[in-house]
Amino acid sequence: MTTDPTPHQVASRPRMWTRIRESDIGYSFFRSPFAMVAAAVTVAFLLAAALAPWIAPYNPFDPAQVSLWDGKLPPSFAGGDERYFLGTDNQGRDLWSTILYGGRLSIIIGLAAVFFGMTLGVVLGVVAGYLGGWVDTLIMRVADVQLTIPGILVAILINGVGQIMLPQELRAEFSVYVVIFAIGLSDWPQFARVTRGAALVEKEREYVQAARVIGLPGWLIMWRHVLPNVLRPVLVLATIGLALAIIAEATLSFLGQGVPPTTPSLGTLIRVGQEFMFSGLWWIAFFPALTLVILVFAVNLLGDWMRDALNPKLR
Amino acid sequence: MRHLKTAALAVSVSVMAMTAAQAAGHGGKTIKWTSQGDALTLDPHSQNEGPTTAMNGLVYESLVTRDPELNLVPELATSWEPTEDGWMFKLREGVTFHGGEALTAGDVAFSINRAKQETSDFRTLITSVTGVRVIDDYTVELVTDGPNPILPNQLTNIFIMDSGWATENNVVRPQDYAASEETFSIRNANGTGPYIITERLPEEMTVLEANADWWGAGQFPGNVTRIEYRPITNAATRVAALLSGEVDFVLDPPLQDLERIGNTDGLRYETVAQIRSIFFGYDQGAEELRTSNIEGANPFADVRVRKAVSLAIDRNAIQRVVMDGLSVPGGMVASPGVLGWNAEHDTPPAVDIAAAQALMAEAGYGDGFSVRLDCPNNRYNNDEAICQAAVSMLARIGIDVTLDALPRSQHFPKIQNRETDFYLLGWGVPTLDSHYIFSFLMQTGGSWNATGYSDPELDALVEAMLTETDIPARTAMIEQAWDIVQAAEPYTTIHHQVLAWGLRDGVTVPMAADDTPRFRYAVVE
């Protein structure tokens, strides 16, 4: 009867949309204005980051496009040059373009760091929770020790050691990866703890017992049965973790530990800008800082909403 | 710049006028000051570097020194005269070290010999001294290989230590700074100077108290009995410290904040042209650069590449935007006021990107090359920003520069250990004579010559000018040497610094073109 696929496709689209709308998550989302605004802002930032090379009027990472003579110009609406909407920094880089590119770098580092920390934490957490015994003790005690030290200090330490261990000629090229590695390594215990807790619960469930009885190997049970069922809380943690990772990257760069000044992230821009606060060049620090605040605020709100929506106890 | 000098002169004149008033009542006054980087070591012969020498100069003294106008004045020697074999110095009598031992000719002989050792960073200054003859307790003769007309000028930073103290503490040899050696003398000091170090936390806090037994007590206008020095790396924090009254004096406020300081009640700033040139150095001696994509050849070995860099650097843009007008664009590694400086050499070439690109193509690097630029970030005015600006200027002629900006305690060893391809350095000239520049920076194997630049003709001239006593002939030699250097372009000068000090009203520290605060002349109301 349905030999023609077209009507089927047309029909399935609204159905999927309805399914999303009518799901628990969708229901909660469309009734929370905060969540909708936060999601819109976050998506806008992600789009801006992805499309930066096409939206930005200049490429601030290409030194040949920068003219020192245009340095320190105020925003165009505050009496500056029309070519530079948000003004220029002390090196003559267009601030609007630099924020787009810098925000892109911040978001990429944030996402990559969270992904790295999450993967590491979830794997270790599932292993610790499922296997138990000395493996559990070892992994969780290491996590506990690391949790007693503030994350940013761990990141500074790892980043410093990482930069020194790299040969000098590779330092600038790989500094972004070192920062990702440092931030990721500083927040895996959070993921490990949550995952382990969930895995402990799942391990006693009948379906896992059943899988064990029929003789499936441990790794397969962990991968196919335990892991999918512990991911819910991890998703919440990852969203909040993204905001923290972006802040951590900005902190490292602000302290001069992160990415090199020739490819500025938001933190680097704020660091450069704050040296000019006393001299009245407020825009160099203000706009990157504002961007950072809005970005982190939006991601945080989204994470908070997600925690509430996914937690059956809070409903 | 004339009005700046006049301002400095006016300040020093007013200091002199205050002398009479202050001499009567020497009340104990404290001065709190800051700058971006601490002394690297307290070993007086280990690092020939401005802030280090300035700090050590409060504790240690030399035979001859300079006053705030940079005139030679007696310090531990009361008089000196040339002899057949060198120079004879009459020592001041009744001088004691902080430890209580009396200063004798033996200590002078010990210190000169110490400063001549392999690990001393001052040995280039006194290569001409072949021996020290102790005539009696208060007379000493420095024997030179041939006459050396400028020896007293070269001694202003050669500090005198107590030989007994040095032997006791096993520091008869200067600390090897580039090898990060740890010795007793890098945190402890025993000199004859006006101040005694009572607390020393490197990079954090240094407290000095007046030396009550100092020979010069009462002879100088200053009334400061306690100096608290706290380095603050961050420029904005430094200014905030001055604005909030936490410090009385900032040696190096960021240039963009001077207006703010000047407009604040109770604060002021003063400027004077400094004897310090800022320039790029190239490793032109290496077979191959360490950080370049070009293999089997060294682009910097070609003078056309070095000239192209010079043509691509927009010195006026750096002066206006990076330095807020407070620099003098230049073309030679010698500032006005140094014997050998001339206006023609010091006029930088006009920016000409097309000509620079043509030179690059001629040298065979039309497609450009990559290289790392090593830059300090806490030594010179806006040093990192200068390097950043250079990165974009050099991109226009195809040189892809990676910037590595580090604190000076990590930057300088790269130069001294010859581990850099392309670097920023500044050079001040305490002797006010070009020989100092040639012998450190351009002579084959000069201790700060990390460029591998070597020219036998120049070496011969530098040797000859050391012993030439006929002043016009010597000046001609210096001119000739500069002609050689300018044609070879082993360094590319950017500008000469203009000093700016930020002070609280009621605090007078005479400004000097060598950026050294001389607290024995400082008055706090």
Does residue B370 sit in the same domain as residue B480?
yes
The CA distance from B424 to the nearest CA of chain A, in Å, is: 17
What are the residues whose beta carbons fall under 8 Å from the beta carbon of A273, sequence distance 6 or more? A89, A281, A283, A284, A285, A286, A288, A289
Looking up tokens 């909660």, which residue turns up?
Answer: A28
Does residue B232 sit in the same domain as residue B357?
no
Please determine, for residue B20, whether its predicted confidence score (pLDDT) is greater than 60. no
CB contact under 8 A, A72 and B321: yes
Segment B19-36 mean pLDDT: 68
Question: Which residues in chain B have their CB less than 8 angstroms from residue A171's CB?
Answer: 404
Give the nearest partner residue to B254 out of A68, A171, A275, using CB atoms.
A275
Residue A18: per-residue pLDDT? 81
Tell me the pLDDT tens digit for each residue of B317-355. Answer: 999 999 989 999 999 999 999 999 999 999 999 999 999
What are the residues whose beta carbons fall under 8 Å from the beta carbon of A275, sequence distance 6 or more? B234, B235, B236, B254, B256
DSSP string, B502-513: EEETTEE----T
Does residue B365 sit in the same domain as residue B325?
yes
The pair of structure tokens assigned to A227 is 């892991």
Q: Is there a domain that residue A48 lies in? A: no
Tell me the pLDDT tens digit for each residue of B228-269. Answer: 999 998 888 999 999 999 999 999 998 889 989 999 999 999
The CA distance from B433 to the nearest CA of chain A, in Å, is: 34
Does residue B147 sit in the same domain as residue B182?
yes
**Distance from C-alpha of B517 to C-alpha of B502, rounded to nearest angstrom:** 12
Average pLDDT of chain B is 91
* CA-wise closest residue to B523 among B17, B22, B20: B22
Confirm if B427 and B442 have CB atoms less than 8 A apart.
Answer: no
Residue B19: per-residue pLDDT? 41
Q: Which residue of A has its CA nearest to B317?
A: A69
The backbone region for B324, taken as left when phi is positive above 0, alpha when psi lies in -120 to 50, beta otherwise, is left
Angle between helices A95-131 and A227-254 (to 10 degrees): 140
Residue A14: per-residue pLDDT? 65
Which amino acid, B166?
Answer: A
Q: Name the residue range of residue B41's domain.
A: 3-266+505-524
Does residue B19 sit in the same domain as residue B43?
yes
Question: Which residues in chain A have their CB less than 8 angstroms from residue B372's CB?
Answer: 168-169, 172
Does residue B463 sit in the same domain as residue B320?
yes
What are the residues whose beta carbons fall under 8 Å from the beta carbon of B181, sequence distance 6 or more? B119, B175
Question: Which residues in chain B have their CB less than 8 angstroms from residue A71's CB?
Answer: 317, 321-322
The CA distance from B413 to the nearest CA of chain A, in Å, is: 14
Average pLDDT of chain A is 86
The pLDDT confidence band at residue B21, using thresholds 50, 70 and 90, is: very low
Residue A90: per-residue pLDDT? 87
Does residue B135 sit in the same domain as residue B234?
yes
Residue A315: per-residue pLDDT? 53
Q: Is there a domain that residue A36 lies in? A: no
Strands B205-210 and B224-229, by their bridges, are antiparallel
Does residue B143 sit in the same domain as residue B281?
no
Strand (E) or helix (H) holding B428: strand B422-428
Tell me B189's DSSP state.
Answer: -
CATH number of the domain where residue B298 is located: 3.10.105.10
What are the residues whose beta carbons fall under 8 Å from the beta carbon of A210, sequence distance 6 or more? none
Residue A218 to residues A129, A191, A206, A224: CA-CA distances in angstroms? 12, 21, 15, 10
Total structural domains in chain A? 1
Residues 375-394 on B with a CB inside 8 Å of A are: 384-385, 388-389, 391-394
Confirm if B366 and B286 have CB atoms less than 8 A apart.
Answer: no
Q: Which residue of A has its CA nearest to B353?
A: A64
Segment A212-222 mean pLDDT: 88
The pair of structure tokens assigned to B205 is 């806090």
Confirm if B511 and B269 have CB atoms less than 8 A apart.
Answer: no
The CA distance from A282 to the nearest CA of chain B, in Å, is: 13
Residue B100: per-residue pLDDT? 93
CATH number of the domain where residue A200 is located: 1.10.3720.10
Q: Which residue of A has its CA nearest to B370?
A: A169
Least confident window among A135-139, A305-309, B434-438? A305-309
Question: Which residues in chain B have their CB less than 8 angstroms from residue A91's CB?
Answer: 385, 388-389, 392
Segment B272-291 mean pLDDT: 94
Residue B18: per-residue pLDDT? 42
Q: Is there a domain that residue A76 lies in? A: no
Tell me the pLDDT tens digit for each residue of B296-320. Answer: 999 999 999 999 999 999 999 999 9
CATH number of the domain where residue B130 is located: 3.40.190.10
* CA-wise closest residue to B398 among B487, B293, B289, B322: B293
Strands B139-144 and B86-91, by their bridges, are antiparallel
Confirm if B205 and B147 have CB atoms less than 8 A apart.
Answer: no
Q: Which residue of B has its CA nearest to A275?
A: B236
The pLDDT confidence band at residue A308, using thresholds 50, 70 and 90, is: confident
Burial of B121 (0-12, 13-18, 19+ CB in 10 A): buried
Does residue B375 sit in the same domain as residue B415?
yes
Burial of B110 (0-12, 13-18, 19+ CB in 10 A): buried
Q: Please state the φ and ψ torsions of residue B480, each to the nearest 5 degrees.
A: -65, -40
**Distance from C-alpha of B121 to C-alpha of A22, rounded to nearest angstrom:** 78
Q: Which residue of B has its CA nearest to A62?
A: B392
Strand (E) or helix (H) holding B373: strand B369-376
Segment A125-139 mean pLDDT: 92
**Distance from C-alpha of B215 to C-alpha of B198, rounded to nearest angstrom:** 19
Tell me the pLDDT tens digit for each residue of A261-295. Answer: 777 888 888 988 888 888 888 999 999 999 999 99
In this complex, is the C-beta atom of B90 within 8 Å of any C-beta atom belonging to chain A? no
Residue A71 to residues A84, A284, A298, B322: CA-CA distances in angstroms? 11, 11, 32, 8
3-state secondary structure of B357: helix
Please determine, for residue A3, whether its predicted confidence score (pLDDT) is greater than 60. no
CB contact under 8 A, A262 and B403: yes
In this complex, is the C-beta atom of B19 within 8 Å of any C-beta atom belonging to chain A? no
Strand (E) or helix (H) holding B371: strand B369-376
Segment B454-478 mean pLDDT: 93
Segment A97-103 mean pLDDT: 92
The CA distance from B312 to the nearest CA of chain A, in Å, is: 12
Residue B22: per-residue pLDDT? 40
The pair of structure tokens assigned to B83 is 């002899």
The pLDDT confidence band at residue B16, using thresholds 50, 70 and 90, is: very low
The pair of structure tokens assigned to A257 is 């530990």
Residue A65: per-residue pLDDT? 83
Least confident window among A113-122, A136-145, A267-276, B452-461? A267-276
Q: Name the residue range of residue A310's domain.
A: 100-314
Total structural domains in chain B? 2
CB contact under 8 A, B240 and A280: no
CB contact under 8 A, B372 and A172: yes
Burial of B79 (0-12, 13-18, 19+ CB in 10 A): exposed
Does residue B192 sit in the same domain as residue B174?
yes
Beta bridge partners of B206: B200, B229
The pLDDT confidence band at residue A12, using thresholds 50, 70 and 90, is: low
Please determine, for residue A10, whether its predicted confidence score (pLDDT) is greater than 70. no
Question: Which residues in chain A have their CB less than 8 angstroms from residue B250's CB?
Answer: none
CB contact under 8 A, B404 and A68: no
Q: Which residue of B has its CA nearest to A66?
A: B392
Please determine, for residue A160, whether its predicted confidence score (pLDDT) is greater than 60. yes
In this complex, is the C-beta atom of B235 within 8 Å of any C-beta atom belonging to chain A? yes
Please determine, for residue B520, whether its predicted confidence score (pLDDT) is greater than 60. yes
In this complex, is the C-beta atom of B329 within 8 Å of any C-beta atom belonging to chain A? no
Give the nearest partner residue to A279 out of B234, B259, B314, using CB atoms.
B259
Q: Is there a domain that residue A235 lies in? A: yes
Q: Is there a domain that residue A65 lies in? A: no
Q: Is there a domain that residue A216 lies in? A: yes
The pair of structure tokens assigned to B113 is 């010999």
DSSP string, B202-215: TTTEEEEEE-TT-T
**Distance from C-alpha of A120 to C-alpha of A158, rounded to nearest angstrom:** 16
The CA distance from A159 to the nearest CA of chain B, in Å, is: 16
Chain Cα centroid distance, residue B345: 22
Q: Model-level pTM?
A: 0.81
Q: In chain A, which residues touch B (CB < 8 A)?
A: 62-64, 66-69, 71-72, 90-92, 168-169, 171-173, 260-262, 274-281
Confirm if A296 and A243 have CB atoms less than 8 A apart.
Answer: yes
Confirm if B91 and B77 have CB atoms less than 8 A apart.
Answer: yes
Segment A75-91 mean pLDDT: 87
Give which of B233, B237, B256 to mutate to test A binding, by max A Cβ within 10 Å: B256
Q: Is there a domain that residue A55 lies in? A: no
Contacts 24+ apart (CB under 8 A), B144-149: B144/B85, B144/B86, B144/B87, B144/B467, B145/B467, B146/B466, B146/B467, B147/B82, B147/B86, B147/B467, B147/B469, B148/B86, B148/B87, B148/B466, B148/B467, B149/B82, B149/B468, B149/B469, B149/B471, B149/B474
Does residue B210 sit in the same domain as residue B286?
no
Confirm if B470 and B303 have CB atoms less than 8 A apart.
Answer: no
Q: Is there a domain that residue A121 lies in? A: yes
The pLDDT confidence band at residue B163, using thresholds 50, 70 and 90, is: very high
CB contact under 8 A, B236 and A277: yes
Terminal CA-CA length for chain B: 29
Give the nearest partner residue to B392 out of A91, A280, A281, using CB atoms.
A91
CB contact under 8 A, A69 and B403: no
CB contact under 8 A, B236 and A66: no
Tell me the pLDDT tens digit for each residue of B125-143. Answer: 999 999 999 999 999 999 9
* CA-wise closest residue to B468 among B432, B434, B437, B429: B434
Contacts 24+ apart (CB under 8 A), A170-179: A171/B404, A172/A260, A172/A262, A172/B372, A172/B402, A172/B403, A172/B404, A173/B402, A175/A258, A175/A259, A175/A260, A176/A105, A176/A109, A176/A259, A179/A109, A179/A113, A179/A249, A179/A252, A179/A253, A179/A258, A179/A259
SS percent in chain A: helix, strand, coil, step 5:
80, 0, 20
The CA distance from A148 to the nearest CA of chain B, in Å, is: 28
Which amino acid, B440?
Answer: F
CB pairs under 8 A between A and B: 81
Does residue B297 sit in the same domain as residue B190?
no
